[in-house]
């Protein structure tokens, strides 16, 4: 056979040999640790490699079926225990339009915390009366719109109360408002920077002012305990405190509270870095939360049957518990290396630019290809030229190769909103529809998107503008050359 016709053999990457201490079967306080490789070929029923081929990598993949199922399950847990309940979709958790509209189709209100989020909800077609307007920074302009459109405005501080009053007076309307409260339940660190503090008497003062104002209709009480609250009893205490306050102000002021809004904070099945046990063992079920919340509400509002007041509507604003596990991130290995301490490492095409939550979760990482060798402690770096860009500091993975795909989950909460355009473009986000069809719900950025908001003053229209300063005489020559081709320009002598 002539030399040049011999069949080509596939080339495998050569990896230098290394010595690693054998750790499999190590004992920890729960027994022997036997890491198992987690491997998947498809996500939400669609082949990973096909998704990558069609939509590129990295890629966020969202499941319509999972999202609808999640919100229905959570709403049902409350509705079977307290008939009059409503979910407010927390826009900041994931404000991709398709995600918001799936939840609105399921009957969720829009819970927004800024002018941008308010405008987005309206642009999606949510009527003003179906918007809960939270947040500490509401400008006069956006309040004018919210009051005119009948949104429920949750007051954060006294200046805002006065501003809403003035806006409503100017429009000759009565604004629908709720008071955001903060207090100590004894179970979680109080978020005392939002709303009016109960223990100090501020909340009482605000209730008095709102109740007395001809421009405000105080219809609700709101509080948000915090996030990833693992103790259902925290919510029981929250409801108890809010109901006690409702009873107090209803007896001292001329108000009727129709809404008790307990905010969000229910955990998802993600693994917090600070918690040793896996989420399956530490995250209580939705029913456990609903049981405590609704049970307390039933107890604390029993007295109302002897009055002419109806029962309040229970609003909850869950974000992460609804959307987190409805989305995964597909990422590719760009290259591998061995760190000086012997650990395996891989550089991925997605990092903390896309996975902001990698700073506090140990996301699940699954491989997609054939089984390949023993698992080893591996560090997953992102693509950024920044030392803190680490997706996982330590995860047991088989040997990786450039081009391999990894699936990171759950990632649906707070990544599509807190991701940052830093160094890299943001990638496609796709939705797997209920019938299995796949479509892009947020297109990948490109240079035109990135430069769309830049404005170049005339004198900066070209990159090599002739600016002369001491020690930079070569600019003068460049300027003279440019003078022949580019106009207008000017030599600046410093
Ligand atoms: C007022 C309010 N409601 C709801 C949420 C959603 O919280 P989570 O995603 O923890 O359910 C937040 C998040 O911080 C919030 O500030």
Please tell me the distance from the alpha carbon of residue 326 to that of residue 62, in angstroms, as a whole number: 6
19 domain residue, yes or no: no
> 377 and 228 in one domain?
no
> 342 and 314 in one domain?
no
Half-sphere exposure of 258 (CA within 13 A, CB side): 7
Structure token pair of residue 459: 């004198």
Ligand 1 proximity of 93 Cβ (cutoff 6 Å): yes
**Structural domain ending residue among the three candidates 318, 346, 367:** 318
Please tell me the distance from the alpha carbon of residue 205 to that of residue 119, in angstroms, as a whole number: 31
> 267 and 286 in one domain?
yes
Ligand 1 proximity of 332 Cβ (cutoff 6 Å): no
Q: How far is the CA of 135 from the centre of ligand 1 (A)?
A: 11
> 282 and 140 in one domain?
yes
> 312 and 169 in one domain?
yes
411 domain residue, yes or no: yes
> 307 and 161 in one domain?
yes
Atom of ligand 1 at shortest range from CA of 320: 9
What burial class does residue 113 get, using C-beta atoms within 10 Å of its C-beta: 0-12 exposed, 13-18 middle, 19+ buried? buried
Which residue's CA is the closest to the ligand 1 atom numbered 13?
Answer: 264
**C-alpha torsion angle, residues 118, 123, 124, 128 (rounded to 10):** 50
Q: How far is the CA of 89 from the centre of ligand 1 (A)?
A: 9
Please tell me the distance from the alpha carbon of residue 365 to that of residue 410, in angstroms, as a whole number: 9
Q: How far is the CA of 426 from the centre of ligand 1 (A)?
A: 24
Kind of pairing, strands 42-43 and 46-47?
A: antiparallel
116 domain residue, yes or no: no
Q: How far is the CA of 228 from the centre of ligand 1 (A)?
A: 9
Ligand 1 proximity of 266 Cβ (cutoff 6 Å): yes
Ligand 1 proximity of 190 Cβ (cutoff 6 Å): no
Q: How far is the CA of 32 from the centre of ligand 1 (A)?
A: 38
Backbone dihedral angles phi then psi of residue 171, each to the nearest 5 degrees: -95, -5
CATH of the domain at 406: 2.40.37.10
Ligand 1 proximity of 268 Cβ (cutoff 6 Å): no
pLDDT of res. 18: 66
Ligand 1 proximity of 134 Cβ (cutoff 6 Å): yes
Structure token pair of residue 216: 């405000």
Atom of ligand 1 at shortest range from CA of 229: 10
285 domain residue, yes or no: yes
Q: How far is the CA of 114 from the centre of ligand 1 (A)?
A: 13
Ligand 1 proximity of 88 Cβ (cutoff 6 Å): no
Atom of ligand 1 at shortest range from CA of 264: 11
Please tell me the distance from the alpha carbon of residue 228 to that of residue 283, in angstroms, as a whole number: 9
> 355 and 277 in one domain?
no
Q: How far is the CA of 172 from the centre of ligand 1 (A)?
A: 33
> 268 and 178 in one domain?
yes
Atom of ligand 1 at shortest range from CA of 267: 10
**Structural domain ending residue among the three candidates 299, 318, 337:** 318
432 domain residue, yes or no: yes
3-state secondary structure of 346: strand
Question: Count of CB atoms within 10 A of residue 213's CB?
Answer: 19
> 314 and 329 in one domain?
no
Q: Any residues with CB less than 8 A from the CB of 162 and at least 6 apart, and which?
A: none
> 402 and 292 in one domain?
no
Please tell me the distance from the alpha carbon of residue 454 to that of residue 437, in angstroms, as a whole number: 37
Which residue's CA is the closest to the ligand 1 atom numbered 7?
Answer: 264
Ligand 1 proximity of 264 Cβ (cutoff 6 Å): yes
> 179 and 142 in one domain?
yes
pLDDT of res. 13: 67
> 228 and 166 in one domain?
yes
Q: Any residues with CB less than 8 A from the CB of 169 and at least 6 apart, and which?
A: 215
Which residue's CA is the closest to the ligand 1 atom numbered 12?
Answer: 264
Ligand 1 proximity of 101 Cβ (cutoff 6 Å): no
Tokens 């509400």, located at residue: 297
CB of 178 closer than 8 Å to CB of 154: yes
Atom of ligand 1 at shortest range from CA of 222: 1
**Structural domain ending residue among the three candidates 318, 333, 351:** 318
85 domain residue, yes or no: no
What burial class does residue 395 get, using C-beta atoms within 10 Å of its C-beta: 0-12 exposed, 13-18 middle, 19+ buried? buried
CATH of the domain at 286: 3.20.20.10
CA angle, 390 then 396 then 402, to 5°: 65
Ligand 1 proximity of 324 Cβ (cutoff 6 Å): no
Ligand 1 proximity of 318 Cβ (cutoff 6 Å): yes
164 domain residue, yes or no: yes
Q: How far is the CA of 133 from the centre of ligand 1 (A)?
A: 13
Q: How far is the CA of 230 from the centre of ligand 1 (A)?
A: 14
Q: How far is the CA of 398 from the centre of ligand 1 (A)?
A: 37
Its domain, for residue 206, covers 134-318
| Average pLDDT by stretches of 10, the chain with 494 residues | 60 68 57 69 98 98 98 98 97 98 98 98 98 98 98 98 98 98 94 96 98 98 96 98 98 96 97 92 97 98 90 98 98 96 96 97 94 91 97 95 97 98 97 98 97 95 70 54 51 45
Ligand 1 proximity of 227 Cβ (cutoff 6 Å): yes
Number of domains in the chain: 3
Q: How far is the CA of 340 from the centre of ligand 1 (A)?
A: 42
pTM: 0.89
389 domain residue, yes or no: yes
Structure token pair of residue 422: 């830093």
Q: How far is the CA of 111 from the centre of ligand 1 (A)?
A: 9
Q: How far is the CA of 263 from the centre of ligand 1 (A)?
A: 6
Which residue's CA is the closest to the ligand 1 atom numbered 5?
Answer: 264
């Amino acid at each position: 056979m002539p030399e040049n016709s011999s069949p080509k053999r596939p080339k495998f990457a050569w990896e230098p040999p290394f010595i690693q201490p054998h750790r499999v079967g190590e004992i920890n306080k729960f027994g022997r640790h036997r890491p198992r490789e987690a491997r998947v070929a498809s996500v939400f029923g669609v082949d990973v490699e096909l998704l990558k081929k069609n939509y590129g990598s990295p890629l966020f993949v969202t499941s319509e079926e999972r999202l609808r199922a999640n919100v229905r399950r959570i709403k049902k847990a409350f509705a079977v225990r307290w008939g009059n309940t409503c979910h407010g979709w927390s826009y900041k958790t994931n404000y991709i339009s398709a995600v918001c509209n799936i939840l609105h189709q399921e009957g969720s209100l829009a819970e927004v915390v800024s002018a941008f989020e308010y405008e987005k909800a309206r642009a999606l077609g949510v009527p003003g009366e179906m918007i809960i307007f939270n947040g500490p920074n509401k400008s006069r302009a956006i309040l004018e719109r919210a009051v005119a459109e009948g949104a429920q405005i949750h007051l954060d501080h006294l200046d805002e109360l006065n501003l809403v009053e003035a806006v409503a007076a100017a429009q000759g309307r009565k604004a629908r408002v709720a008071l955001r409260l903060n207090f100590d339940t004894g179970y979680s660190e109080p978020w005392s920077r939002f709303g009016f503090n109960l223990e100090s008497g501020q909340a009482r003062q605000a209730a008095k002012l709102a109740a007395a104002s001809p421009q405000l209709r105080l219809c609700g009480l709101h509080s948000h305990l915090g996030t990833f609250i693992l103790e259902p009893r925290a919510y029981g205490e929250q409801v108890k405190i809010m109901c006690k306050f409702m009873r107090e102000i209803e007896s001292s002021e001329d108000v009727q509270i129709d809404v008790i809004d307990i905010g969000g904070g229910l955990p998802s099945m993600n693994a917090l870095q600070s918690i040793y046990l896996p989420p399956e063992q530490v995250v209580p079920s939705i029913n456990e939360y609903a049981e405590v919340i609704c049970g307390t509400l039933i107890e604390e509002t029993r007295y109302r049957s002897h009055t002419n007041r109806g029962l309040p509507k229970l609003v909850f604003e869950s974000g992460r518990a609804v959307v987190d596990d409805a989305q995964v991130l597909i990422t590719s290995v760009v290259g591998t290396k061995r760190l000086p301490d012997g650990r395996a490492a891989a550089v991925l095409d997605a990092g903390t630019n896309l996975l902001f939550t990698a700073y506090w979760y140990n996301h699940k990482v699954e491989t997609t290809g054939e089984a390949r060798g023993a698992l080893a402690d591996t560090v997953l770096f992102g693509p950024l030229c920044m030392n803190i860009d680490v997706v996982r500091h330590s995860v047991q993975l088989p040997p990786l190769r450039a081009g391999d795909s990894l699936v990171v989950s759950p990632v649906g909460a707070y990544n599509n909103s807190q991701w940052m355009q830093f160094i890299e473009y943001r990638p496609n986000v796709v939705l797997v529809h209920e019938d299995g069809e796949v479509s892009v719900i947020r297109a990948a950025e490109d240079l035109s998107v990135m430069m769309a908001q830049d404005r170049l003053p005339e004198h900066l229209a070209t990159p090599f503008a002739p600016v002369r300063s001491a020690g930079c005489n070569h600019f003068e020559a460049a300027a003279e050359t440019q003078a022949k081709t580019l106009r207008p320009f000017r030599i600046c002598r410093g």
